[in-house]
Amino acid sequence: MAGQEPFCFSRVASLASLVDYQKDAIVSKTLLRTPSGHIVLFAFDVRSGTQ
């Protein structure tokens, strides 16, 4: 997670505020990375072809 601030699980946060929306793009942010799995938050632009 170079260049990213680690996610703090001890506070309440709005998920929408944790990842920046970008026009015509899919944006992801890794919230947790462990040997047993990852938790990743995604933001999708409606026109990004994911429908």
Task: Transcribe 4-48 into DSSP letters.
Answer: SPPP-TTS---GGGTS---TT-EEEEEEEEETTEEEEEEEE-TTS
Domain housing 50: 1-51
Residue 10: is its pLDDT beyond 80? no
pLDDT of residue 1: 43
Q: What is the pLDDT of residues 19-44, one digit of tens each?
A: 877 888 888 888 888 899 998 988 88
Distance from C-alpha of 33 to C-alpha of 2, rounded to nearest angstrom: 12
Tell me how many domains the chain contains: 1
